[in-house]
Amino acid sequence: MKKTSKKNPKNKSAPIAAFKSQKTIEIKSAKSAQPAKPIKIKTSKIDEAAKKPLTRVRILSGNTSRAISSTVYYGALIASVAAIVLIVVVLASIFPKLKNILPPKNINPAGTEGTQTASIVILPPDQKNAAATSLMPGMAGDGHMTVAAQPGSIAAGSRFKFKLDHFQKLDVQLLQFDLFDRNNKLLKPADLQIVHESRLHFFVVSANLKEFQHLHPTFEKGKWRVVADLPSAGTYYAYADFTPLKAQEEVLRSELVVRQPSPLTLDYPAISENFATSDGPFTAKLTLTRPNLLQQTVLSYLLTVKDKGTPVKNLTNYLGAPGHLVILRQGDPESFMHVHPLSSSDLKTAMVEFLTTFSQPGRYTAFAQFKFAQRVHTFPLSFEIL
């Protein structure tokens, strides 16, 4: 009689015999509170798998996720990040080009019905002094150079408010107005920095760009006051250029109307012949270097005596600089640019250079101001940027 031996738990042949004798095997999760759903495994597949070296097997069920190879995971993550970076680079290169291709928006001047509206002109901190962020050799880095790289405006409500903005007489007028900061606080001289020898630079320009004045208001009896010459009927744009204490430079724009607003179609200055113009016996000739969109353009002015062609004498600083330059694109009052000279300017040779960037094509009119022969001379010149 044969003796029956007890089952040896360490006998490795028992599991193999079990696989061969059963058609299906039920595998339950040890961690699950309830029995897992049976998983059917063909014995033929097990036999084939048994012949191959086992590298890594994890059988998961219930709420447990499948294990994912770390190499595949991080590879997919790196590929996703690379794709996002590529999309950002492509969009960044395409967007400026599309912006320049699009036609400029039609401008409907505010204030034509007696409203006292104003605008902040293109001086947010991230765009201010766009050309100055990469100074060219000889460029003045005084921190007060206003370079409007991307003309545009932000509505400012009544931050620049005239006491009276309509006039009937074609004459010199007393202008009284208030300025407010972004918190609607009235701005007084003590609230503003002194920039180029003045706390407030004030410009009055006719809508057709044929009249220009650079003035410096005073503050009396709680109002800013200045006398301006308004010799023609139509719309005038007033620009208040100032820098609050511990803040960035701002330019607020408002409007004045003499008799009636200017028509939508205006007779703007033509392109200046030979890029030269005269003021009395003196001539200013303009040379443009790199007059292209989105490039740093140098505007060089040579001041001479008209009859002799020799450089003017006694050219001196005007408001702390060899000159001042205001540029406007015709038909676009928001495109105000107030630029100061490069340090390469030479008073002795009467050569004054400015640097700015043009972001939109069109015809521009530039008003350059220099002080010599005991007074300030203004030279308007118009040119095309393609």
Pair 248, 153 in one domain: yes
Whether residue 369 is contained in a domain is answered as: yes
Say if residue 76 is in the same domain as residue 177: no
Strands 296-305 and 282-289: antiparallel
Crossing angle of helices 13-21 and 43-51, rounded to 10°: 140
Same domain (yes/no): 80, 202: no
- Give the domain-ending residue among 43, 67, 102: 102
pLDDT tens digits for 5-41?
444 445 545 444 444 444 444 444 444 445 555 555 4
Q: Which range, of 110-114, 147-151, 328-332, 358-362, averages the lowest pLDDT? A: 110-114
- Tell me how far apart the alpha carbons of residues 345 and 211 are, in angstroms, rounded to a whole number: 27
H/E element, 93: helix 70-101
Residue 93's pLDDT is 64
pLDDT at 69: 54
- Give pLDDT tens digits for 339-376: 999 998 999 999 999 999 999 999 999 999 999 988 99
Helix (H, G, I), strand (E, B) or coil at 271: coil
Instruction: Say whether 260 sits in a helix, a strand or coil.
Output: coil
> Which of 102, 132, 158 finishes a domain?
102
* Residues 95 and 224 occupy one common structural domain: no
Would residue 2 count as lying in a domain? no
Q: What's residue 307's pLDDT? A: 87
Cross-strand bridge partners of residue 325: 339, 368
Q: Tell me whether residue 81 is in a domain.
A: yes
**Model confidence at 112, in pLDDT bands (50, 70, 90)?**
very low
Query: What is the domain range of residue 71?
Result: 31-102
Q: Which residue has the higher pLDDT, 71 or 6?
A: 71
pLDDT band at residue 102, thresholds of 50, 70 and 90? very low
Residue 321 or 6, more confident: 321
Q: How many domains does the chain have?
A: 2
Q: Pick the last residue of a domain from 50, 67, 102.
A: 102
Is 107 within a domain?
no
Q: In 229-245, which positions are buried (b, 16+ CB within 10 angstroms) versus exposed (e)? A: ebeeebbbbbbbbbbbe
β-sheet bridge partners, residue 43: none
